Structure 1
Amino acid sequence: MKTVLRLALATGLASMALAAALPAQAQAQADGQQRNANEQAARQLYSDIVSIRTARGHKQMGVMTSYLKDQLLKAGFAENDITITDYDSDGEPTQGLVVRYAAKGKPKAGPIVFLGHMDVVEALPEDWERPPFKLTEENGYFFGRGSLDNKYGVATLAHNFIRLKKEGWAPKRDLYLVFSGDEETGMISTRAQAKMVAETIKPALVLNGDAGGVAMTNEFKPVMYQVQAGEKTFATFELTVTNPGGHSSRPRADNAIYELARALGKIEGYRFPVNASPLVRSYFSEMGKLTPGEIGKAMQAFGANPDDQAARATLLADPGIATQMMTTCVTTMLRGGHAENALPQSATATVNCRIMPGEGGAAATQAALQKVIGNDGVKFKLLTNVVESPESSLTPEVRDAVTASLKTRYPGLPIVPELSSGGTDGMHYRALGMNTVGIGNAAMRSADIFAHGLNERIRVADFYGGLDHWYLVMKKLAD
């Protein structure tokens, strides 16, 4: 993830008086209101799956899928509604989970697939202030690895399948949970499940619970609901320069480290062309309405006319905004030489790129970097199994479903499709031609996003406040 929520303009938005305060219900929950049976059940499921250490190396994914299967069977799902898939993920076994909520009678529309991932990034207990694989409620927050990324999504999706089944609800189209087991690492299960979904389920919609959601200011005021409508392509290159080397007392005119350093300096100074796709333009048009001052004006001007040079200059001056407008490449790792008294025989740098959709992917990006460097002695090696995916569209029926959910939490909140710089399961579904959008139920401020980091958390009020999101979305789309 990737994902989660991002306020590209946190400094400008934090001072906005536009957004409404927290709903009374959510505020009451934040103050310790007694939880009803539905809320208690959701919390128990959430707590149970956070406690399962589904990080790579611990081989606990089977425990996770067995637990979820047991909960779904108890709710009334049949054995043949639930499939646990087995995969080898770069030498380690992992599992995926597919659950069908069958339509009653002949389906009235095509199936809907809901995505999530059950694995998490490793967390070392000695580094955390609290046990990472135990859900801890403290100071108005739930802490724990995966409390946000993505066991919040998995817990609330599974909980609402269980809730609806117990209520006896019969959807008018087939619904599927498709949970992967190695999104944070090799994405082997994700790729395989995406192929299976494309070939056997053939969904009308794919909705990702690991992206999108309500963005808040530092004062916990909701600003917008972000929909992930696309993802940048993730590609990592190694750049290597080799040299005969020699004794350090006799420096050469050519030096592998210096040669590589000059190449990296050129990458640092290079700016990829601005990409004014329809998604990028619509994003800035909507963001401009919500953003005060010159930045907001520049956003609206760029949305209306991407050739407006003054608007471009204003937006490109902010790195957080510029990343939404272009491909970016940055050096992240460096190694070189073999002895302190020897000239380096090789020097290698790792360069990570986030590539805008529709720009030719990794091959075109490599070609651009090679041209900028202008030195055939710098050798490129692509390290990533690249997945290039197109942009998706927010269909009217999905927009209506999101609006219905927001009506109970933040009525009138703007819905803004955006391009994500991170990576999720959704890329594999888009790459296979399935319209996939991220409409997760998280509501967060940027200051609380600790996915992949220490002391990952989500506010208690926002956990319960988003509990009905999928319930309402599912009923709106399949009732």
Structure 2
Amino acid sequence: MYLRSVLFSLCLVIAVPASAQKVETADVAQVKEILKRSVGFRTVEGQGQVPAYAAYLASVLKEGGFADSEITITPMGETATLVARWPGTGNAKPIVLLGHMDVVAAKAEDWERDPFTAVEENGYVFGRGAEDNKYDVSMMVATLAQMRRDGFKPERTLILALTGDEETEMATTRALAQQLKGAEMVLNGDGGGGLLGPDGQPVFYGLQGGEKTYADFEIAFTSPGGHSSAPTGDNAIQHLAAALQRVGAYDFPPRSNELTRASLMAASEQVGGEMGAAMARFAKDPADTAAADLISTRPEFIGQVRTTCVATMVDAGHAPNALPQRATANVNCRIFPGVSVESVKAKLTELVADKEAQITVLGDPTGSDASPLRPDVMAAVTKAVHARYPDVAVVPSMSAGATDSYHFRAAGVSSYGVSSLFIRAEDSFAHGLNERVPVAGIGPSLEHWRSLLRDLAQ
């Protein structure tokens, strides 16, 4: 989840009455059991357990009243997707509830507990995927089953779309994004969420409305090589070093969108001082390059105002007493929404300024624009959050990395990270050791999703 990657406190408070129907103790117990069983499926790449996990989640939905014909599990290699449709009573475009079933690998010998056996201890459920993303997957599945069982009638069709390789290739994501590109919007349980302070009190809630494009570029040079005792002017390592120096010295031009302007303006008062003033100036005038440059001196803020490219890996030479025959570097770019991968490659080519360089885009990066801050979404999310924590700040945010929303935005579907999880920074171990989530949050998380669906599906 990417909320914790942007921990500076932005602040956008919208006054909306807070109300939500309280869940029953039995509901909480059921969801906790779903979460624990979910952790038990070893849905790591290559293990082939995603289809089995999808079948289990489908069984939960069927117990809630979903028909077999409304649920589709589609194998894709060793993984799969799950799509469940709850037909609405009206003709408006559907809402997609998005999440992913796969998890990153975990070495059991490094954990204090078996990462694929859920353990409830000291008020937490421990296990790989407990936070990323099986917590909100469990909440969404349980909410849909319970609301259908209770007789709720959505006007909009609700579509649960669970992917199977978000942590790796996102091939299932791309497939579902194309299949569901006619949707009105996406509510993603793998983005956004709430931050608690060390004392357990709420700090803010982040609503993810955009993501930067992740792209890796390889810069490669080749040379004839030879004996190191007879150096020549053609040295692949020296060519590469000079090229990386030029890339590292370049600042991409400042960029902004509705999302970052709102975020920076909200943050300016809390940050204060010269930096806060620069944030406010840039939010009002995106042409203020001096303000953008000052903001860019802080690593936690630079990603909000421009594309960034940085060398992350190098590989060169083959022997300590030989001239290098090849030298390569990986340059990782986080590209501002609306900026094309091709234009960044062109800029890198210009900066490298060496006709012998080979610059290659690795993988298949896809760009996407930020989603508009829809008033109905902002109001519904704020209402759901304030039902738990009245008056807590609801913050629009742009992630530096990518979730499944990335491909839906690229397909033209506005997508919003609206995770129901509130967690302390010191308890957030997604992708790390001893991953866990607080049990006390389960009831409020169910209320969060019920409130969102009641408000947005009508």
Deviation at 1:220, TM superposition (A): 3.5
Hey, what does 1:477 align to over in structure 2? 456
**CA distances 1:51-82 after superposition (whole Å, capped 9, x unpaired):** 10101010001110111111111221111111
Change beyond 3 A, Cα 1:425–1:464: same
Q: TM-score, normalised by structure 2?
A: 0.92
- Give, in whole Å, the separation in 2 of the partners of 1:135 and 1:143: 6
Quick one: percent identity of the two aligned structures?
Answer: 42
In the alignment, structure 1 residue 152 sits paired with structure 2 residue 141: no
In the alignment, structure 1 residue 305 sits paired with structure 2 residue 305: no
In the alignment, structure 1 residue 195 sits paired with structure 2 residue 184: no
Hey, what does 2:21 align to over in structure 1? none
- Give, in whole Å, the separation in 1 of the partners of 2:64 and 2:173: 26
2:103 touches 2:129 (CA, 8 Å); kept in 1?
Answer: yes
Change beyond 3 A, Cα 1:286–1:97: same
**CA distances 1:300-319 after superposition (whole Å, capped 9, x unpaired):** 23212334455434322211
Hey, what does 1:137 align to over in structure 2? 120
Hey, what does 2:18 align to over in structure 1? none
Deviation at 1:258, TM superposition (A): 2.0
Hey, what does 1:26 align to over in structure 2? none
Change beyond 3 A, Cα 1:449–1:268: farther
Hey, what does 1:31 align to over in structure 2? none
- Give, in whole Å, the separation in 1 of the partners of 2:289 and 2:361: 34
**What are the ranges of 5 or more consecutive residues in structure 2 without an aligned counterpart?**
14-23
Change beyond 3 A, Cα 1:340–1:81: same
- Give, in whole Å, the separation in 2 of the partners of 1:243 and 1:132: 47
Hey, what does 1:25 align to over in structure 2? none
Deviation at 1:243, TM superposition (A): 0.3
Hey, what does 1:314 align to over in structure 2? 294
3-state SS in 2 of match to 1:447:
helix
Say which of 219, 222, 238 aligns to 1:239: 219
1:404 touches 1:476 (CA, 8 Å); kept in 2?
Answer: no
Change beyond 3 A, Cα 1:478–1:9: closer
* Aligned counterparts, 1:51-66, within 5 A: 51-66=40-55
Amino acid at match of 1:276: S
- Give, in whole Å, the separation in 2 of the partners of 1:386 and 1:366: 12
Hey, what does 1:384 align to over in structure 2? 363
**CA distances 1:262-309 after superposition (whole Å, capped 9, x unpaired):** 222222222211112232211101122443444333322321233445
Deviation at 1:444, TM superposition (A): 2.8
Deviation at 1:330, TM superposition (A): 1.7
**What are the ranges of 5 or more consecutive residues in structure 1 without an aligned counterpart?**
19-34
* Aligned counterparts, 1:414-433, within 5 A: 414-433=393-412
Say which of 385, 404, 420 aligns to 1:406: 385
Deviation at 1:42, TM superposition (A): 0.6
Deviation at 1:226, TM superposition (A): 1.5
Deviation at 1:41, TM superposition (A): 0.5
Say which of 160, 177, 181 aligns to 2:164: 181
- Give, in whole Å, the separation in 2 of the partners of 1:276 and 1:184: 28
Change beyond 3 A, Cα 1:447–1:329: farther
Deviation at 1:164, TM superposition (A): 0.9
Q: Which moved more, 1:111-120 or 1:368-377?
A: 368-377
Hey, what does 2:341 align to over in structure 1? 362
**Count of aligned positions:** 448
Amino acid at match of 2:68: E
3-state SS in 1 of match to 2:4:
coil
1:114 touches 1:206 (CA, 8 Å); kept in 2?
Answer: yes
3-state SS in 1 of match to 2:208:
strand
Change beyond 3 A, Cα 1:400–1:171: same
* Aligned counterparts, 1:200-349, within 5 A: 202-308=182-288, 311-349=291-329
3-state SS in 2 of match to 1:59:
coil
3-state SS in 2 of match to 1:5:
helix
- Give, in whole Å, the separation in 2 of the partners of 1:66 and 1:214: 30
